[in-house]
Amino acid sequence: MDRNTVTGLLLIFVITIAWAWSTMPSQEELERREAERIAAQDSIAALQAEQQAAMEDPDTLGTEPSQQIREIGEEPESEQQTVRSLGTFAEASFSDTLTTIVRTPLYEMELSNVGAGPVKYTLLEHKTWDQFNVQMIADTLRSAYSLGFLSHQNYNIETNELVFEPLHETGVFELAEDETLSIAYRLALDDDSEIRFVYTFTGGQYAYSIDVELANMEPYISGTNVDFGWTAALNLTERDFVQDAQNASANVFLGGSMEKLQIGEQGASEQRFNGTIDWVMTKTRFFGQYIQPVTHSNAAILSGEVDGDPSQPGTIHRYQVAVQSSFAQNPTLTYELYAGPLRYYDLRDFHPNAYDVIEIGYALIRWFADPLVRFLVIPFFAFGSMFIDNYGVLIILFGVIIKLILFPLTQKSFKSMAAMKELQPQMKEIQEKYKDDPQKQQKETIALYKRAKVNPLGGCLPMLLQFPILITLFFFFQNSMLIRQQSFLWASDLSAPDYVFNLPFAIPFLGDQIAGFVLLMSAAMFLQTKISGGMSGGAAPSGGPNMKVFTYIIPFILLFVFNNFASGLSLYYLVYNVLSIAQQAIINKQMSNKKPELAPVEEKGKRKSSRKGKKK
């Protein structure tokens, strides 16, 4: 490998380090975030206790709806004023607050008639990092879904501020895997005009639907457009709060492509996307919720706010999404909804492009990364998990398979590097002989390559062709739901770092802990570099840097880069590097027994006479 190629590879690593550093949390940040989480839980518990006391107090019954919401939910003053300023719609609110629980094998949803939608959504098969069931909706006493529009009295109406009348028996509904259930809420403006929400649930899937019926609402709604959206924040679930929050986003799919909300320098942004909308969604690292309009849609509104420094664990990330539709031609608007884990097969059943929100590589190679992940990587783990329930073992087997697939490329690359290593004595002689004449030195080096029939780029090009696969797997193992909370050896969660050493001090970019698989991976890479001869064809030209030293530094750099990444990612590269060591050692042994044959140097006069003879 020549100096320019190694320099290019080093630049790639520098870019990777810069990107990794921006997402790398410190232990102090984690501890501060944990303290804030505990304080928030205490506050929530106190709020729930007050809510329960208010509901049991008979004095609260029969009060005005807006007053009752304020006392139970302790809404801020600004929100109190909003509730009191809804005109006809506030007067139409129901006189009591009631909850309904829908429990399936996959989740438990608690719905409130305050907004006629979910206020809690608990996943029964997924745990947070501290082993509580995942509760996706951030604490709220109002529906996470809201229908927004401008009223005939010029009020901005959000239905999650109104109290609907339940049209079903409240209580707990248990659904088996193949059972369905429909529940409905109504807000009546007069005898003929009403808003009705009808939810339909199926026990065996995370997807459900809602019909928004706007019966004779033209006199009460200004214009014909309404917005239906998700207004609640999503809870963070991972131990690394910073990384989980930085993976939070709002996205829309329309016109065959996905768009992501871009947060500006002010820390807040709102974007409108016009056209027929396939879906909108908000997400964290491993969980998300989608809204897919089935009937007419004409726009999507995405908004977000990052309150503080994104690299700090105390920073709040808030995202909201909505779909705009017209009810002029159809008074019933239907939406398919999904709330749950970002797993490929669940998302594929919901929408063919729902999995596009998972980052599996740079946009430049998405055309390659997407089919690789969907048709090779995920099916392998899905099939393998039917026979092997340990994902660490599956990662090892997968590393072996990828190594076999890339064998032709790595074989050619390693042979080229081994041949270059054998030419090092001759190259050093040339460098010493022409150390004061760089041009002559380069000319003689190229002549040596030709005589030995060695291509100096032969070891680099095959490696560069592997990069799309390695980059795709880098992102996949870092973001995949597959290995979340899967244990292997000392790693309790393959989607998180496997720290095994605590340092008495913090090292910049590294932290005060060292991960086990990362340490082994770096050691394996260092050994591979040593066996391959430092990936260098010899000593550096006179006056130039010693590129061999730089290549030995790369494993040390990767220790910093990967230390705070998913341990499953480090395990995969560890397996890959160990197999590469074995392959390189075998090739080196073969090449040592078969020295490169140097063609004899032809004198200029002989070549000329030979050509003249041919002309005769």
Cβ within 8 Å of residue 5, ≥6 positions away: 457, 460
- Tens of pLDDT, residue by residue over 230-242, are 999 899 999 888 8
- Tens of pLDDT, residue by residue over 420-473, are 666 677 777 777 777 777 777 777 777 766 666 666 655 555 566 677 888 888
- Tens of pLDDT, residue by residue over 271-298, are 999 999 999 999 999 999 999 999 889 9
Q: What is the mean pLDDT of residues 108-122?
A: 95
- Tens of pLDDT, residue by residue over 166-191, are 999 889 999 999 899 999 999 999 88
- Tens of pLDDT, residue by residue over 467-513, are 788 888 888 988 889 999 999 999 999 998 999 988 888 888 787 88
**CA gap 34, 79 in Å, rounded:** 29
Q: Where are the alpha helices (DSSP H) in 172-220?
A: none
**Cα angle 484, 486, 488; round to 5:** 140
User: Would you say 183 and 211 are in contact if contact means Cβ atoms under 8 Å apart?
Assistant: no
The kind and range of the H/E element at 572 are helix 567-592
| Sole residue written with tokens 């026990």 | 203
* Confidence grade of residue 332 (pLDDT, cut at 50, 70, 90): very high
Q: In this structure, how many other beta carbons lie within 10 angstroms of the beta carbon of residue 613?
A: 8
Q: What is the mean pLDDT of residues 209-216?
A: 95
Higher pLDDT, 256 or 461: 256
387 CB-contact burial (10 Å; exposed 0-12 / middle 13-18 / buried 19+): exposed
Three-state helix/strand/coil letters over 380-401: HHHHHCCCCCCHHHHHHHHHHH
- Tens of pLDDT, residue by residue over 527-581, are 877 776 654 444 444 444 455 666 678 788 888 888 888 999 999 989 988 988 8
The token duo for 583 is 């392959």
Reading across the β-sheet that carries 180-188, which strands appear in turn?
Answer: 165-166, 180-188, 194-202, 207-215, 332-341, 287-293, 277-283, 249-254, 257-260
In this prediction, residue 69 carries a pLDDT of: 29
pTM for the structure as a whole: 0.75
At residue 56, the 3 state secondary structure works out as: helix
The token duo for 504 is 């008495």
**Cα angle 287, 290, 293; round to 5:** 175
Q: Where are the alpha helices (DSSP H) in 141-261?
A: 241-246
In this prediction, residue 140 carries a pLDDT of: 80
